[in-house]
Each structure stands twice: as structure tokens, then as C-alpha cells.
Structure 1
């Protein structure tokens, strides 16, 4: 009787595993940003429960006792069970790898070593390291193509900063040793908000010239700070109250005075428009093996960024330098170096070499 019941359950689970195939199927070579963002864990859990109710019930019984179900009010085994089913599906076919792809990209972004990918791939949790590197190259190429199209239509801003990367060698040799290396990473922000007014280089330079003759004074700065004190105090009180009332132990929904105006958000001063049509897109450029602590390093970095943005010919450089200012964001070191470069190049022959469009 036990063997007969076990055989029935096996046939039912095998049928449910075949039903899970459409939910987990994803060709290994199919990798896009839209595909990754379209994967929702809560949706996967709901659809897996519907497609494989018997399998889910057995795994839930094995991972969660009735006593735990009564005692735990927040903890559930759903995430563990969905990963178990994903691992079993991946064991049946390497084309059932939807969650493995998400895990791989996430773990790579956290700096997981190559050996770690091989280990987790053997467990069925991630793809192998070769797929990860190939996939990231494919995502990078797609992102770069989109970026080059977007900057032809919309204004953009940029930012760069230095970084240190630790390269780990598992087999030590004279030319293959564990070491730290320095580089620079840059990000491009594409402004798609239709209400944004594209600045003009000539207008900006005229305003800068008039402002240089009448600079802001120290008393004026104190007045601006004094006038903003009330608004800053309101924001600070709201933030501090938010930490207190949002704590799980406080149980704000049961608080008698939860509808009090004290908990209302302070009025906005200059409220920006929100929504998909106003969203700013962010693109990461290829990391360059250049330091940005010196003036020479920043000059080389700027040249490399515009090379990646395909600003190569003299005509392209002339059009860009006359079109609109490019705001470049950075920390105190970066901004001071760029300002210094503009001073050094102030007597150069053209607007591109003088970095007149760069702010």
C-alpha cells in the first residue's frame, strides 16, 4: 500500500513539474534588461502554487511545521520553496533557468568570485561564470546602443569617480597575483522630462559674466539659510517621527491618534513632476583603467567618456560645444580638478578645448 501511494504521488508530482516548465523556461542566450525586470518573485510564487499544488503542499509540510505556522507571524517558507522548485526544474533542463539568471546577475553585482559561481551552479542556484560574463557583455552592448540613441534626442548629465577593485588569483604566479587596482567609473543621466528647458551655452555664459560682476555676498547667504530654517525644521521633525511610527513594534495602524496632522508630510517647496514620462534614465559607461586624482587623469578620463559617447570628429565636437552646457557631477576632488582644467585651458583656440560647455 505504501509503495502504491508513493507511486501515485510520484506520477502527480512529475505531471506538476511538467506544468512548471512554462513558468521557469528561459533560453540561456535570452537576456535583456526588460526580461530581468519583468521577473517578480511574488508572481512566481503565486503561479507556482497554482501550477503545482501537491508539490508545494509537500515542500511546505517538510519545511514548516504546524507549530511554526502558529508561532511565526512574519516568517514564511515561500521563498525557500520557490527556490527549491526552481532548482528541481533547472536539474531537469538547463533551459528552465529564469530565477537562476536573476540570482546570477544579482550575485555578480555584489562581487561574488568566479569560484563561487561554479559552486552555486553545481547546486543549481545560479548559471555558470561563463554565462555571467557573456550575459553582462550582452547587457552592456544593449545599454550602450540605447544610450547613443537617447543622447541624440534628450539632454544629459554625467558623473564620474574613482574606484578600487580587488583582483583575486587562486593560482599564484609571478604575473598572476592578488592585488588592488584603481580605475574610474562614469554614469550618464538622460533627462526625459518634457517640462525641462534645455539650457543654452551662450545664455549661460552671459549669465555667468553678469553674476561675476555682482557675486553673492556672505550676508545674503545667511539670509537664505535663515529663511529656510522653518522648512528644514518641519522636514526634520517629519523624518524623525517617520522612524518612530514606522517601527514594527509601534504598530502605527492601531495608534489612536494616527490621523493627526502631526504625521502629515510638510508641504513641498518646489515639487517636481513624477511619473514614467518624467523619469530620468541612468546608463553606466565602461570602467576605464585611469586614475582621476590628478589633472592629467581627469583630462584623459573626459576624453575617454566622450570617445565612448561617439563624439569623435571635429564637427561633432564643435556642435556639442555650441549646443548646450553639460553638467558634470562629482565630489569635491572631481569638481576642483575639472574647474582647474577649465582655468588651464582658458586660452586655448576653441570652445571644445576650453571646456566652455562643461559645468
Structure 2
């Protein structure tokens, strides 16, 4: 709402003609000359420079009206950049130098005040940096929102500099710079630095690398990081010991119930095809009439691990150790090291290991392979403890997911001009996916690309099988019809049965591109189902997928994971 001062000033401007304003100004200048004062003396006295002017009611009103007027910003702009004369190409200097000095000084004071207020929220005390809940209580997005709220001027400055309008994520850079500046003002404002230090420690950054990043204000020092990791480990060991004092925890028996593996996997495949449609922006699920229908519910888990209170999974951080894990002897030393950190290395406890305890060891295929060979090498040792009879060695499912993605990459990469993944990667402008890499975000990028390509193929299959031009037309179909269409898509476009029907036509009549698409849909849907099964802890579905995983790794030439899957099947059945 417009203030009374602005309204009065605007009403006076409305009926004043330029020549009348000029005449009035001329009279005022003449009177100032008579009174032997100039404009600077007048303004200084009016704006709190003369005690009599400060107390005068008429001058108070004029002073307040001027400071609240709509014309003040325009006056400041003119003083900074006076307009050119009509007959001159040179702009008058005005008061640019003085205004710039004032603007810089004001901005500095404002930025300092905002950073001081923001700094209170960037502090993380030493007693909290070993707490996972405290360390991860704020996400990057929440930190950005906090910086935007508590330091709006700083945020606007960075936005004007960093936001190029090309869609790049400038907010992360702005937050990083803001955190560095705040950290330089006070080392207590170190929330981001502690987060990055702990993250980079587990990414294998060297001590010199840490010291360089610390000198730049990006992380804490290497010494602090090592001490923090040790404190986190000690805290975890304390919690672990309090949960199982005196002796190692007892083994819990896991009972399995058999479900029809083929039916369960097929049901999940239909669910994946259906969710591809429902998650499409073109389908508009929010306005779909049958969106609450039972036919659209996700498939029920086959054998899901309990997730209620009391069944939460707790992870405990072990301390770091200077063992390279480069030989069988190193792996043997590591086993003793971990058990010693857990406090399970007393003679009585070793006896319990030999007779009563089972400890599961999981990791990537290389770790599992070395532990299995170590188990065989120690088969003739004297005691059951030295035999490693307590050890059950299994592969990590996350590593298996990565191996599956690499298998799809190897099988369907193709060429830039073909119809394989290489052609799609170029269209999507996905860099760094031409070759399989073991370092960096390769798996994350590949996994994201596989999801995009799978969604595109399944969307196309929905159009073909349903006989529609766009996915939005399917909004008129009932939920039961959509479920039937999803099963048809799996049967006709993503199954070995569909491939067998194609092969019946003879080599010359086979549509090779269609065959490639069906093979891709069949394999990638299995990959998506596996991801969902692992994510939702559906161990029954994971077990049912083992035969397909065996064929997948055997066909792609990954004999090591094929053997791991086969050994797991032998252990289960």
C-alpha cells in the first residue's frame, strides 16, 4: 500500500508543469544566494546536520517525505549516471565515484551482517560431528534455502554473477563460496567443511590433497578428519558393545517359504511396464479417473524383510587400518583386525566362534573370491576357528547390480550409427559411457541412462500394443484394461516367448531390429525389477531372479559372477 508521503508528493507532481517547476527552483536558488548558503549547506542542515532543523516540524515532514518518495531511486541513478546533453556524446561524470564508494561500503557492512547471522546455522560442535543424525540433518538443498533466507544480499550477488541462464546449477557453487567465506571468518562455522572432509576421506583423498583443500577453506585438515573418523568409530563401537555386552550376538535363523518364482518375476515385470506408463508426465495420473483402483497397486512383495519398529538395520563404522588388502595374508590380517575392533578376540570368544557363531562377510566379487580361497587354504589348520568355519562368504548385491548394468552395456553398446546404446548416449549427450570405468560416477550415470532408454522403449510399446497415438489417450481406458495391456507388452515385447515366435519365421523374414528391441526390453526389465527388489528388501523376489541372473552373466561372459550366483543357488537349494 502506498504511504501518505508518496501520495502527497505524487499529487504535487501531478499539477506542476515543467516551466512552473523551473520558476520555483529559480526562486529558491535566488533566495539561497541572498541567504548566503548553497545546496550542500541546505541538504546537510535538512538531513540531521543542524539541531534546529532536526527539531522543526515542517522540516521533519519534508525530510521524511523525500526519503520515502518514489523519486529517490531515480535521483540516485541520475547522480550516478547523468543523462547526456543532446549536442554531446560525452556523459557527465556526476557523483559516480562517491556513490560507488558509498555502495561498496554499504554492501560490505550488509554482507558482513548477513554472514554473521548465517554463521550461527553453519556451526557444528565437536560433540555433534560424530553423530550421523547431526552430520546429515541438513541436505545441500536445505543449506541453500537457509543461505538464501539468512543472507539474501549475498545470495543475490552470487546469482547475478553465476547464473548464466544456461541451466547450470549455480546454487551449489554459491553455497560452497558462502561456506568458505564464513569458515574463513570463524573456524567454528564448519558444517559443510566437516561433511566434505568425511566424504572425501572415504573417497581415498591423500593427506596432501586434504591439506591443499583445507588451505582453500573447502575441508577440515587431514589431522582433524582422521581424529573425527576415529571418534565416529569409537562411538559406533560403544553403541555396538552396549547392544551385545560380553559376547558376540547369537545367530538368528532365517526361514524361507517357497513361492512360484516364474509367476513372481512375471508379476513384477508387469508392474514395471505399468509403472512406466503411470510415471509418465503425458499420462497425468493425478487426474486419471481410476487412479485409486486396486488394479494399479504395486505387486505385493514375495518375501520382504520386516521393516517395522525393532527391525531397523543399524550400521557401525569400523576404524581405519593400514592394511593394503593386496594379498591373501592381508585379508587374513584384516579378519583378525575387524574381530579385534569388535572385541571378539578373547580365547573364550574364539571357542564360541568355532562352535556357535556364524559371521557373514560380504563385498565385491574380488573380496569374496579372496576370502573363499583363504577359506580353502586354511582347511588343514588345527582349529575350527583357524578353519574360518564361522564365516559365510556372500557377494554384495549392490556390486551384483553394478555387474548387471555393465553386462547390459557390454551386450547392447553397438555403434554410433547403429541402434544400440552408443547411438542413444550420443543423442542424450551422455559423456563418458563409451567404456566401462571402475572409478568416478560411471555406474550412477549408466544406471540413469539405462532407466531413460528403458522408459522410452516401454512408452513406444504402450503406443504399439494399445493402438494409440499418444499416452494421454490411455487415460480413457479403465485400470483393468491397463493391467491387461501391461501383461501383453511383457508377453509380446519383452519375453523369450516373443523371441521364439520371431525365430519361427525363418532367418530371412526376421525383423532384426524388432528382435533386438525385444531382447533389450526383456533384459532391462529384469534389471529394473532387480533394483526394486533390492531397494525394497524383497529377498523372495531376489531369490526368484537367481536363474535369470545365472543366464545373464553366463551369456555376457562374466564367469566370475555366474559362479557366485550358481554357488548361492547351490547353498539355497
TM-score bracket for the superposition, by shorter chain length: 0.5 to 0.7
Pairing of 1:242-281 with structure 2 (within 5 A): 251=281, 254=284, 259=291, 264-275=297-308, 277-281=310-314
Unaligned runs of 5+ in 1: 158-196, 205-223
Q: Of the candidates 267, 270, 273, which is equivalent to residue 234 of structure 1?
A: 267
Residue in 2 that maps onto 1:314: 347
Q: Specify which structure has the higher proportion of strand.
A: 1
Residue in 1 that maps onto 2:486: none
Residue in 2 that maps onto 1:64: 163
CA distance in 2: counterparts of 1:76 and 1:306, whole angstroms:
45
CA RMSD across the alignment: 3.9
Residue in 2 that maps onto 1:36: 135
CA distance in 2: counterparts of 1:149 and 1:239, whole angstroms:
43
CA distance in 2: counterparts of 1:2 and 1:302, whole angstroms:
67
Unaligned runs of 5+ in 2: 1-98, 393-573
CA distance in 1: counterparts of 2:160 and 2:100, whole angstroms:
19
User: Residue 155 of structure 1 contacts residue 198 of structure 1 at CA under 8 Å; is this kept in 2?
Assistant: no
Q: TM-score, normalised by structure 1?
A: 0.63
Pairing of 1:10-49 with structure 2 (within 5 A): 10-27=108-125, 31-34=129-132, 35-49=134-148
Whether 1:130 aligns to 2:223 is yes
CA distance in 1: counterparts of 2:210 and 2:385, whole angstroms:
46
CA distance in 2: counterparts of 1:280 and 1:140, whole angstroms:
17
SS at match of 1:278: coil
Whether 1:97 aligns to 2:97 is no
CA distance in 2: counterparts of 1:14 and 1:320, whole angstroms:
61
Pairing of 1:183-194 with structure 2 (within 5 A): none
Whether 1:146 aligns to 2:182 is no
The structure showing larger relative contact order (alpha-carbon pairs under 8 Å, at least 6 residues apart) is: 1
Q: Deviations over 1:105-144 (max 9, x none)?
A: 1122222233322332232211222222222222222223
Q: Of the candidates 353, 375, 380, which is equivalent to residue 344 of structure 1?
A: 380
User: Residue 23 of structure 1 contacts residue 44 of structure 1 at CA under 8 Å; is this kept in 2?
Assistant: no
Q: TM-score, normalised by structure 2?
A: 0.42
User: Residue 100 of structure 1 contacts residue 127 of structure 1 at CA under 8 Å; is this kept in 2?
Assistant: yes
User: Residue 232 of structure 2 contacts residue 317 of structure 2 at CA under 8 Å; is this kept in 1?
Assistant: no
Q: Alpha carbons of 1:335 and 1:8: their partners in 2 closer, same or farther (altered >3 Å)?
A: closer
Q: Of the candidates 285, 289, 300, which is equivalent to residue 323 of structure 2?
A: 289
Q: Alpha carbons of 1:293 and 1:120: their partners in 2 closer, same or farther (altered >3 Å)?
A: closer
The alignment of Structure 1 onto Structure 2 pairs a total of residues equal to: 284
Q: For residue 336 of structure 1, report the CA deviation from its aligned partner.
A: 3.8
Q: For residue 239 of structure 1, report the CA deviation from its aligned partner.
A: 4.3
CA distance in 2: counterparts of 1:30 and 1:264, whole angstroms:
42
SS at match of 2:340: helix
Q: Alpha carbons of 1:341 and 1:152: their partners in 2 closer, same or farther (altered >3 Å)?
A: farther
Q: Alpha carbons of 1:9 and 1:110: their partners in 2 closer, same or farther (altered >3 Å)?
A: same
Q: Of the candidates 152, 157, 170, which is equivalent to residue 53 of structure 1?
A: 152
Whether 1:198 aligns to 2:198 is no
- Considering only CA atoms, is the larger Rg found in Structure 1 or Structure 2? 2
User: Residue 197 of structure 2 contacts residue 220 of structure 2 at CA under 8 Å; is this kept in 1?
Assistant: yes
Q: For residue 100 of structure 1, report the CA deviation from its aligned partner.
A: 0.9
SS at match of 1:283: coil
Q: Of the candidates 82, 102, 106, which is equivalent to residue 8 of structure 1?
A: 106
Q: Alpha carbons of 1:288 and 1:25: their partners in 2 closer, same or farther (altered >3 Å)?
A: closer
Q: Specify which structure has the higher proportion of helix.
A: 2
Runs of 4 or more consecutive aligned structure 1 residues displaced over 6 Å after TM superposition: 255-258, 260-263
Q: Alpha carbons of 1:106 and 1:329: their partners in 2 closer, same or farther (altered >3 Å)?
A: closer
CA distance in 1: counterparts of 2:211 and 2:198, whole angstroms:
14
Q: For residue 32 of structure 1, report the CA deviation from its aligned partner.
A: 0.8
User: Residue 211 of structure 2 contacts residue 222 of structure 2 at CA under 8 Å; is this kept in 1?
Assistant: yes
Q: Deviations over 1:147-192 (max 9, x none)?
A: 33334399769xxxxxxxxxxxxxxxxxxxxxxxxxxxxxxxxxxx
Q: Alpha carbons of 1:254 and 1:199: their partners in 2 closer, same or farther (altered >3 Å)?
A: closer
